[in-house]
Amino acid sequence: MRDAITRQRPARRGRRAWIGALLLALLPLLAWAQASSEAPIPPLDTPVVDTTGTLQPTQRLALEQQAVQLQQRKGSQLQVLVVASTAPETIEQYTQRVFDTWKIGRKGVDDGVLLVVAKDDRRVRIQPGYGLEGAIPDATANRIIQEYLAPRFRAGDYSGGIAEATAMLVKLIDGEQLPAPVSTHASDSRSNGKLPLGFFAGLFAAFVAQLLFARAPRPLRGVLAALAGGGVGLLLSLSLFVAALTGAIGLVLGLLSGVSPGRSAGGGGWGGGGWGGGGFGGGFGGFGGGGGGFGGGGDGGWGGGGGSSGGGGASGSW
């Protein structure tokens, strides 16, 4: 009898292990099923995301320009989202999830505000980030809904209600003391202005270095010219691209020019074609091509800035 019980224990442990493994395997499926049952969150690529086609292009454009101008002026982010329904979630749950996903507003400042309209549910919500809870308290958000959004929505004037509500939100944000926005275009312009300076200064440093070490062995002369050109280029441009380019040109200059130990200084080793010919012109063309890349990424698109919200604001119906 004791032997039979002893044999049954490993079998029971094996079954329990299989059951535990099966449950662990089912957990991702359960999580996926729960996520798939939630209302989808559209991608954030514009200040006005309308998945229902309710707003006309001209109406959307006016709202988008208002949001962009606010961001340029104050740094804050005003976001509008129009969806058909938030089911099975409440509008409060859905709005919080959207805010967490999009991260509206600046990181650390949390100066974003999200207006969500669930058209078929006849529900609307205004939710500010932490940094705008003083400018847009719950009572004020509720008043905007009751006085601007709900009456217009009952009349079928969705664009009019959103326009009036967002105009009031902009006015409230303008009256709030917030950190000044950082002008990315100005910083890009300053950065791009350093590129030519660093490039030409790096070339000059490489040229001087290969002259100073003209009687050094070619490999050493090339390395020294590359270090001089790349170092000066990096110091003045703060660009690894410029540093690599001027360093490479310095290396070529050092290897192909200068006076070798068995030649006189008047031999004209570097005066023939190494500097004046295709080397400098080709390198400059490469720099110009790279410059286009620097300028092309300056604008960027609309997206969240890392902001967060604690769930304040107000919801309403019409």
Q: What is the CATH number of the domain that holds 101?
A: 3.10.310.50
pLDDT, mean over the chain: 79
Most confident of 130-139, 181-190, 248-257, 288-297: 130-139
What amino acid occupies position 270? W
Is 129 in contact with 308 (CB distance < 8 Å)?
Answer: yes
In a domain, 255, yes or no: yes
Lowest average pLDDT, out of 74-88, 121-135, 251-265, goes to 251-265
* Residues of the domain holding 53: 48-178
Asked whether residue 15 is domain-assigned, the answer is no
Any domain includes 122:
yes
- Residues in Cβ contact with 246 at an 8 Å cutoff, skipping those fewer than 6 apart: 198, 199, 202, 203, 205, 206, 229, 230, 232, 233
User: Which percentage of the chain shows pLDDT scores above 90?
Assistant: 49
Amino acid at 260: S
Alpha helices by DSSP H, listed for the chain, are: 2-37, 57-74, 91-102, 138-144, 150-154, 158-174, 184-212, 218-237, 240-256, 278-296
Higher pLDDT residue, 22 or 291?
22
Q: Which of 159, 178, 197 is the last residue of a domain?
A: 178
- Show the CA angle centred on residue 267, arms to residues 274 and 249, nearest 5°: 20
43 within some domain: no
Is 0.75 surpassed by the pTM of this model?
no
Instruction: Give the per-residue pLDDT at 36.
Output: 53
**Does a structural domain hold residue 41?**
no
pLDDT greater at residue 100 or residue 251: 100
The answer to whether 116 and 98 are in contact (CB under 8 A) is yes
In this structure, the answer to whether residues 76 and 144 fall within a common structural domain is yes
Q: Tell me, yes or no, whether 103 lies in a domain.
A: yes
Residues 68 and 148 grouped into a single domain: yes
167 and 81 within one domain? yes
Rounded average pLDDT over 191-216: 79
Q: How much of the chain, in percent, has pLDDT values that exceed 70?
A: 71
Same domain, residue pair 66 and 161: yes
* 227 exposure class (CB count in 10 Å sphere: 0-12, 13-18, 19+): middle
Same domain, 63 and 161: yes
| Strand partners of residue 117 | 82, 124
Over range 84-93, report the average pLDDT.
96
The reply to whether 57 and 174 lie within a common domain is: yes
Higher pLDDT, residue 299 or 56: 56
Q: Which residues of 129-158 are buried (b: 16+ CB within 10 A; e: fewer)?
A: bbbbbebbbeebbeebbeebbbebbeeeeb
CA distance 42 to 83: 9
Do 255 and 174 lie in one domain? The reply is: no
CA 190 to chain centre: 20
Shortest CA distance to 311 belongs to which of 104, 58, 47, 95? 95
Give the domain-ending residue among 155, 178, 201.
Answer: 178
Q: Which residue has the higher pLDDT, 37 or 300?
A: 37
pLDDT exceeds cutoff 50 at 104 = yes
Q: Which pairing describes strands 123-128 and 112-118: parallel, antiparallel, or unpaired? A: antiparallel
Which of the four pLDDT bands, split at 50, 70 and 90, describes residue 72? very high
For residues 163 and 283, state if they share a domain: no
**pLDDT tens column, 15-64:** 655 555 445 544 544 444 444 578 999 999 999 999 999 999 999 999 99
Residues 98 and 152 in one domain: yes
Band the pLDDT of 273: cuts 50, 70, 90: very low
Span 227-263, pLDDT tens digits: 888 888 778 777 787 778 888 887 887 778 655 444 4
Instruction: Please give the order of strands across the beta sheet that includes 314-317.
Output: 48-50, 77-83, 112-118, 123-128, 314-317
Q: Does 61 map to a domain?
A: yes
159 and 109, same structural domain?
yes
User: Is the peptide bond preceding residue 219 cis, with omega within 30 degrees of 0?
Assistant: no
107 in the same domain as 71: yes
Do 63 and 152 lie in one domain? The reply is yes
Q: Is residue 292 part of a domain?
A: no
Q: How far apart are CA 288 and CA 281, in angstroms?
A: 11
Question: Tell me, what amino acid is at 87?
Answer: A
153, 178, 203 — which closes off a domain?
Answer: 178
**How many separate domains does the chain show?**
2
pLDDT higher than threshold 80 for residue 81: yes
